[in-house]
Structure 1
Amino acid sequence: MAKRLLSSRERDQFSLKFGQASFDLLSDFLVNFNQKNKENLNSLSKCCGSFKQKRLLECIFLICQELKLDPSVGYHATELLQRFMVKHLTDLLVTPATAGAAASEPRSLEDAIFDQLREKFPLILFSCVQLANKMSLTRHMIDTSTAVCFLHLLGLSVSKKTVLESELMVFKGLEFRLDYPNPLTSVETLLEVLGHNEPSVPAKRLYHLCRHVLQFIALEKAAIYDGLLKVTTQRSSPSKEQREKFVAVTEDCMLLGVGVIAVATFILYFRKWEQVVGELSHITGISMQSIRDFAHMTLAHIVGF
């Protein structure tokens, strides 16, 4: 007999909210997340971060806000967009048919590919949001009719078939894998573990501020990490080699997670800051100095902003 799908109300009853997960579950999840984060850092492409620029993030966050989607969807969609576009562009660059078409015209291959993607990109971005939302398993799903109406409001004339085909293209391009680590998941997991290890730390109150801090860091990523690179290398103009090595730091979700929590703690509960930084270092193995440097650099940009 086929199993009945859970209703949205039933899914809400079975889904764990912040602060409800058992420590054993959190421990397993943290180990698994750490492993995925390491795998991601070991397989970074040269185009890493190219599709995480401020304007793209603002667009994704605004779409999620307009459609009343959970903020986690935006961060997940960003990861999907980055991976899909790098692979898609790579495939286009090595496809003989594309190269032949470009060679017959007085333009470069890059120009030809840009023209192909210029009109498709907004729909690709939206498809990443849709896939991320489906992975979130929340009750607020955007059906195809709603998606078409929303895209029409944005000035995109698309059909239901086009929307579904785009989503399938992205899904296939990602090789049917959507479970990539994202920074909000890192923050939530680390904050829950911190709350278990140090009950005196008001993790639930920190949680709301952490979301705002994370969004600020995501939008101001280029400036914050550039400042952190200069502090780390102790050079006002880091070399190309130093910048290339530093790319892994910019994509480390664990470092970002502890940095966000450290910043939020500094703002709300400064008297517990050293205690929290020490516990975060113990949980992740990231040095206290690295956490302090990240927090101080972020705070400097928040104050200066």
Structure 2
Amino acid sequence: MVSFGYKKKKQYMQRLFGGSVFMETPKRSSQQFFTSPPEPLFNDKHVGMKPALLEETLQQLAKENELNMLNMDDECKGVFKNGKRAVFMFLLCKHYKLGYEDQFVAIELFSRFMSKHVAELLQHVKETKNTENAIEWSHVEQRIKHQIMLRTVTCAQVASKVCSHYRIISLGSAKRFLASHGFRYAANSIVQSEVRILKTLNYKVHPPMPLTYVEALLEIVGHNNPSLTVKHFHGICLNVLELYYIQRDAIYARLKQIAGVTSGQKHRGNTIEKDNMLTGSAIIGAAAYILDKSSSDQIIDHLSKITEIVNDDILDFSAVLIEQVLANDEE
């Protein structure tokens, strides 16, 4: 049902980008250059990306997406990045006034770390099962649960360092937050938690995630159709993306139902969940419908041409997201 092919031929990309060229970039003052913009810049005439760079970006994201879909090491899939876990992470990041990117990086880091961490501990328990040093899984599980708050705060702390120029969660601030919730950790314990997370993730702290694909595709769509106010789409996309994480289980259950994925087709279901290109396209499609339903079909068709994903697959995913938005409004 879902197409995972991406055309990379030069003539195809030239057709997509229309062969237009940017005007020479005007000179900017040092203050303009070094000051971070208050919001993302899309198709800005001063810093806009040229077609060749957009082409290279799309090809690289397509390659990373294919590798991500083939990676079946994540045994726990999205167990640690949906529902109450996502809500708490988002609220934690908002408490610290972190940027929108920080919260999505934080929840992805938390999910990847916890998945690998639990898998490693489970394997260790299995290896000691028939030895004198046998470990009861129930004891390990209790320890994991007790450390959830510490791991959550630490992942937000790492994300703040990765994404923010100056607004990061300091060691002291993390310690005070944990203490206020009844978790009294020494500063060294918080540092060790950060080291554990970094080592477990092999220091890969900027994971592939839907936000990256949303923003790249918006840049391309805005370049191809300058009449679109891409920044308006971006704001709505962020809201839809938050809902996507919170309602992730319900969304994929509905998608698998639509696609006819049965319980015996676990691999196929996992692949759909890992397709960030499809997810990013669907989020833009849902945002387009919310902003102006009369033009949403045209935008989804354009996204289909850019990504080589079947039009109906983006449409189905977008429709499921809209269903969740409407259901959330009713509540």
State how 1:217-232 maps to structure 2 within 5 Å: 217-232=244-259
Which residue does 1:57 correspond to in 2? Answer: 86
Q: C-alpha distance in 2, partners of 1:102/1:150? A: 40
Q: C-alpha distance in 2, partners of 1:258/1:69? A: 25
Q: Deviations over 1:242-290 (max 9, x none)?
A: 3442121122111111111101111112222122111111111111111
Q: C-alpha distance in 1, partners of 2:257/2:126? A: 44
- Determine if contact 1:92/1:98 at 8 Å carries over to the other structure: no
2:212 pairs with 174, 185, 188, which one?
A: 185
1:109 to 1:285, Cα distance in 2 relative to 1, 3 A? farther
Q: 1:98: how far off? A: 8.0
State how 1:9-20 maps to structure 2 within 5 Å: 12-13=35-36, 17-19=40-42, 20=44
Q: C-alpha distance in 2, partners of 1:206/1:14? A: 18
State how 1:134-213 maps to structure 2 within 5 Å: 134-213=161-240
1:82 to 1:22, Cα distance in 2 relative to 1, 3 A? same
Which residue does 1:302 correspond to in 2? Answer: 325
Q: 1:95: how far off? A: 2.8
**What stretches of structure 2 of length at least 5 have no aligned partner?**
1-31
Q: C-alpha distance in 2, partners of 1:154/1:31? A: 45
Q: 1:60: how far off? A: 0.6
Residue 269 (structure 1) aligned with residue 292 (structure 2): yes
Q: 1:31: how far off? A: 2.4
- Determine if contact 1:80/1:128 at 8 Å carries over to the other structure: yes
Q: 1:103: how far off? A: 7.0
- Determine if contact 1:11/1:139 at 8 Å carries over to the other structure: no
Q: Deviations over 1:195-246 (max 9, x none)?
A: 001112221111111111111122111112211111111xxxx531234421
- Name the SS for the 1:199 alignment partner: coil
Percent of paired sites with the same residue: 27
Residue 35 (structure 1) aligned with residue 58 (structure 2): no
Which AA in structure 2 matches 1:60?
M
1:34 to 1:135, Cα distance in 2 relative to 1, 3 A? farther
Q: Deviations over 1:161-204 (max 9, x none)?
A: 11111101110111111131111122111111110011122211
Q: Which moved more, 1:204-213 or 1:40-49?
A: 40-49
Q: 1:11: how far off? A: 5.6
Q: C-alpha distance in 2, partners of 1:220/1:260? A: 13
Runs of 4+ in 1 over 4 A off after TM superposition: 13-16, 100-105
Residue 88 (structure 1) aligned with residue 117 (structure 2): yes
1:139 to 1:252, Cα distance in 2 relative to 1, 3 A? same
Which residue does 1:68 correspond to in 2? Answer: 97
TM-score calculated relative to the size of structure 1: 0.86
Q: C-alpha distance in 2, partners of 1:206/1:285? A: 21
Aligned length: 291
- Name the SS for the 2:265 alignment partner: helix
Q: C-alpha distance in 1, partners of 2:281/2:253? A: 18
Which AA in structure 1 matches 2:281?
V
**What stretches of structure 1 of length at least 5 have no aligned partner?**
1-8
State how 1:89-104 maps to structure 2 within 5 Å: 89-95=118-124, 99=128
- Determine if contact 1:93/1:109 at 8 Å carries over to the other structure: no
Which AA in structure 2 matches 1:41?
M
Q: 1:18: how far off? A: 2.5
1:14 to 1:244, Cα distance in 2 relative to 1, 3 A? same
Q: Which moved more, 1:207-216 or 1:137-146?
A: 137-146
1:303 to 1:67, Cα distance in 2 relative to 1, 3 A? same
Residue 109 (structure 1) aligned with residue 136 (structure 2): yes
Q: C-alpha distance in 1, partners of 2:121/2:179? A: 28
TM-score calculated relative to the size of structure 2: 0.80
Q: Which has the higher helix share?
A: 1
